[in-house]
Structure 1
Amino acid sequence: MTDTLTPAVRRGYALGSVATGAFGTVPGLLLLPYLTDSLGIAAVVAGFIVFVPKAWDVVLNPIAGRISDRHDSPSGRRRPFLLRGGLALAACFALLFAGPSDPSWLAGTWVVFWFLACASAYAFFQVPYVSMPAEMTLDPGERTRLMTWRVAVLAFAILLSGATAPMIVDAVGDETTPAGYRVMGLYIALILVIGVVGVWRGTRDAPEHRVETAAGSLRAQLRLVSASRAFRVLLATFVLQAVAVGAMLAGVAYAADHLLDDAAASTILFVAFVGPALIVTPGWERYSARHGKRSGYLLSSVFLGVGAALLVVARGDHVIVVYVAAALAGVGYAGAQVFPMAMIPDVAAADAATSGQNRIGVFTGVWTAGETLGLAIGPGLFALVLAAGGYVSSTDSSAAQPDSALDAIALGFSIVPAVLIAVSMLFLRRYDLGDLTDPQEDHVAR
């Protein structure tokens, strides 16, 4: 069985990022302002509502990985979960923004319930999806090429959903009325269906390198996975950066409305942040071939952190500097997606090669749980910074904000993420697995 994947399989697998990109972006971008400015829910409570359902995935994702590890069917170990989990996700997302707007306790309860349902369905799509590259090919270089395709599609999906979702909200109503959010929810649900069906059909001819399913309880498998030093430091790096990116995304709408004083700036900022990935992702792949994935991940993290720090100047009279800083962060964001996505299958596959047992689903279950937790903590952290600054939650778009709230938006949007990224690089420097050339000849550093 060849380890070189066909272009059709690479493209087919990458289509799954249409779903992961849309769901990973839109709630982080719009759910917090929906709660504070459309439903009038206090910032601290809104942060809790955003955090809890995704935090549930920390428990559920490893279980989903374990279940997919033990699954067997004629259509593949992982593929059936893509369709079932993905379509359930789309249905739940359509309902997420379709609830009542009054009273606020009922509206908040509706959001918690359906966001929890979204998170549960997403676990059974995302974990099998992320597990697939380690079983599709044993060639680490081929995995990097596969991730390059995936990140390119991911960037497009994030750009499409993140740029157009706020436009739909504003076109139908505005950020203080629920009607636009309801239409937006249906629109994103359709995008999710396209990605889910696309990856399910596109991977039907993908090879599958089977490894014996690991024996023992889930707890025992988690203990073995956590024993991998390379995995621990890579996970810590990625989770801290997910928190940082989550805080930045949550701050986009607030920065646009209150610091740049231009609702259209939300879309421009988002495009400036995500757009560079469509251009620079192939360049990061070439850098990896010459200098290695760890070096590329470190350099891209520098770009991401410096760009985030420069966003602290976000004000109407510095708008060009702000967009340039967002683009600089976007260059780093592209690499900070490509490299860890290519490194985690290396870690999981090396473990499978040395142990002879399949723990790939458990590895990716823990990985995606960490990512989901980070993206949940990010908006929650931003909400706490808003609350500390005295942000006024209101359904009235003309409500005045104190200067302390404006400072809180700037800090939560820039300096807090920059510090998190700097700390993450201290962990990344300890990654010592190296760039695998043959998983049969290497091992996971412990």
Structure 2
Amino acid sequence: MDAPPAGTGPVPGGLPRRVHAGYALGSLATGAFGTVPGLLLLPYLTDTLGVAAGVAALLVLGPKAWDVLVNPVAGRISDRTRSRWGARRPYLLVAGVAMALLFAAIFAGPVDAGPAAGAYVAIAFLATATAFAFFQVPYVAMPAELTGDYAERTRLMTWRIALLAVAILVSGAVAPLIVSATGGGVAGHRWMGLFVAALIVLGAVGAFLGTRGAPTGTVAESEPTLRAQLAVAARNRPFRALLLCFVVQSAGVATILAGVNYFAGQILRDPDGGPTLLFVCFVGPALLVMPLWTRVGARVGKLAALVAASLILAVGALALVAAPVLPAVAVYLVVALIGCGYAGQQVFALAMLPDCIAWDEARTGRRQAGVFTGLWTAGETFGLALGPGIYGLVLQASGYVSSDTGTAAAQSDTARLGVLLGFTVLPALLVAVALLTLRPYDLTPARLAEAGTVRRGHDVVAVGDDSR
């Protein structure tokens, strides 16, 4: 069954559970790619290929920073796509499969150590990040076109984030185990690359098939240049505030992710089982509290719930600075608290994005989901890349010693302090300070309804100028 024609608008109310589940499957792909490079790529470069921490930080940051330019292009191209599968779904399949193949190639280089090996990883990672942009941008754009209902978007995001948590758990916990179980070093990372590639294929194909027959909404051509897209976003004050907050918070979360292996090995003294236990404690509770966060959001509103979840995340990360003197069980309990905050932070930020898109359509009469999601994923990708980059520079500044043996070298007390502070204080500050950028955000169901009413009355100017 083909999707309805592009001219039909999003459904006004509930979506079938098949569409909820099908759309959520895409999080297997986004979760695996968002988790494993941030978790394993920096230590792979420093402790297996022997690349200096500062250079490794730049090699990890560069390809993801490239996506800042590529994502808006992907959004513009998907906005202009016309096919019997809709504007977005073709990219779920084609870009998703390409991303899987390229991800496996990152760890399948012809050189096993040294600068040449690091350069190969950077090039392969750049290609994978480009394919990811063409999957992620259309994927994130779809909710605003699947439904026009404010509450339904939260439900759709809850399904997505729940499966995202599963993807993070499976990829983040199992990937290090595969590396260890298959001999570690370069060979172990190659097997891990194949495993993650399989997860990406499952998610991409599942999302493509699961959203078959779902509403495609009205997709208009977006602005022709990046400058014009930025101008569109600049006139949407709630979007500006939400994007800035999410980018900074993504950098904070990414520093935690980048530091897991280092924290487990240098602080917990458990380099083999520690990363997996940290991930189980981080993601497991998140799955349990997801329904609770949905009820909290319905009761207090998305904005207040986002603030609350972010503060829980920040306070938990700051508390981990005491990890060297805490028993291991206490450390893992604090990590579980961080996971609860992270779950809510993701749910509400992603549920507020379609509201910003709907607000823009109500003001202007133009649906440009690709513009906003292209800029959103560019910002998110940059934040997720900035985290490992910052963490690598902290390691370099604290004197971290690299190794090409597949096992971390012995580190000084100063280096171990850098590992600790980069994993705790730094992300806590980033997540908490980012909340200050949300002060201009003021979208509510009533304000969205008011904007739609004014638009239907052809009085766009009255609420249309939100550039202040």
1:259 to 244, 257, 267: 267
- The question of 1:95 aligning with 2:101 is answered no
TM-superposed CA distance for 1:274, in Å, is: 1.6
Amino acid at match of 2:167: A
Q: Deviations over 1:141-180 (max 9, x none)?
A: 1000000000000000100100000000011113xx1111
Counterpart among 175, 179, 202 of residue 194 in structure 1:
202
For the pair 1:26 / 2:29, whether they are aligned, the reply is: no
Q: Kindly tell me: are residues 386 and 7 of structure 1, through their superposed partners in 2, closer, same or farther at Cα, counting changes over 3 Å?
A: same
1:280-338 deviation per Cα after TM superposition (whole angstroms, max 9, x unaligned)? 11111111111100000000001100111111122375312211111111000000110
Q: Distance in 1 between matches of 2:236 and 2:326?
A: 49
Aligned residue-pair number: 444
**Contact 2:76/2:221 (8 A) holds in 1:** no
Letter aligned with residue 299 of structure 1: A
Aligned position for 1:38: 48
Query: Which has the larger displacement, 254-263 or 215-224?
Result: 215-224
- The CA distance in 1 between the partners of 2:445 and 2:125, in whole Å, is 38
Cα separation, 1, equivalents of 2:189 and 2:298: 43
- State the TM-score, normalized to the length of structure 1: 0.96
Q: Separation in 2 of the partners of 1:418 and 1:63? A: 33
Q: Over residues 58-117 of structure 1, what are the superposed CA-to-partner deviations in whole Å (9 max), with x where a residue is unaligned?
A: 000001001111111111110001111100000000101111344511101110111001
For 1:423 and 1:327, locate their aligned partners in 2 and report how far apart those are by CA, in whole Å.
Answer: 22
Structure 1 pair 243/367, CA: closer, same or farther in 2 (3 Å)? same
Q: Is the deviation greater in 221-230 or in 123-132?
A: 221-230
Q: Tell me by how many angstroms 1:441 deviates.
A: 3.9
Task: Return the alpha-carbon distance in structure 2 between the equivalents of residues 192 and 50 of structure 1.
Answer: 20
**Change in CA separation of 1:216 and 1:91 when aligned onto 2, cut-off 3 Å:** closer
Which of 422, 426, 438 is 2:432 aligned to? 422
Displacement of 1:223 in angstroms is 0.7
Find the aligned partners of 1:171 and 1:316 in 2 and give their Cα distance.
Answer: 31
Map 1:6-85 → 2, pairs under 5 A: 6-85=16-95
Contact kept in structure 2, 1:245 and 1:378, CA below 8 Å: yes
Q: Is the 8 A contact 1:30 1:253 kept in 2?
A: yes
Q: What pairs with 1:407-446 in structure 2 (closer than 5 Å)?
A: 407-435=417-445, 438=449, 440-441=452-453, 445-446=466-467
Letter in 2 for 1:47: A
Q: Distance in 2 between matches of 1:160 and 1:360?
A: 30
Identify the match of residue 295 of structure 1 among 296, 304, 327: 304
> What is the CA–CA distance in structure 2 between the aligned matches of 1:286 and 1:258, rounded to whole Å?
39
Match of 2:344 among 335, 338, 345: 335
**What amino acid is the match of 1:344?**
L
RMSD (Å), alpha carbons? 1.5
Q: What is the distance in 2 between the residues matched to 1:229 and 1:350?
A: 10
**Structure 1 residues not aligned, in runs of 5+:** none
**Structure 2 residue aligned with 1:182, among 190, 196, 202?**
190
Do the aligned partners of residues 216 and 101 (structure 1) sit closer, same or farther apart at CA in structure 2, a change above 3 Å counting? closer
Native 8 Å contact 2:153 2:351 kept in 1: yes
TM-score (norm 2): 0.92
User: Using the alignment, how far apart are the partners of 2:319 and 2:297 within structure 1?
Assistant: 27
Aligned to 2:378: 369
Match of 1:206 in 2: 214
Please state if 1:320 is matched with 2:329.
Answer: yes
Contact 1:212 1:356 in 2 (8 A): no
Residues 50 and 113 of structure 2 are in contact (CA less than 8 Å); yes or no, is this contact kept in structure 1? no
Match of 2:127 in 1: 117
1:280 counterpart residue number = 289
Mapped to 1, the partners of 2:415 and 2:324 lie a distance apart of: 14
Deviations 1:212-240 (A, max 9, x none): 33455442232121221111110111011
Contact 1:255 1:314 in 2 (8 A): no
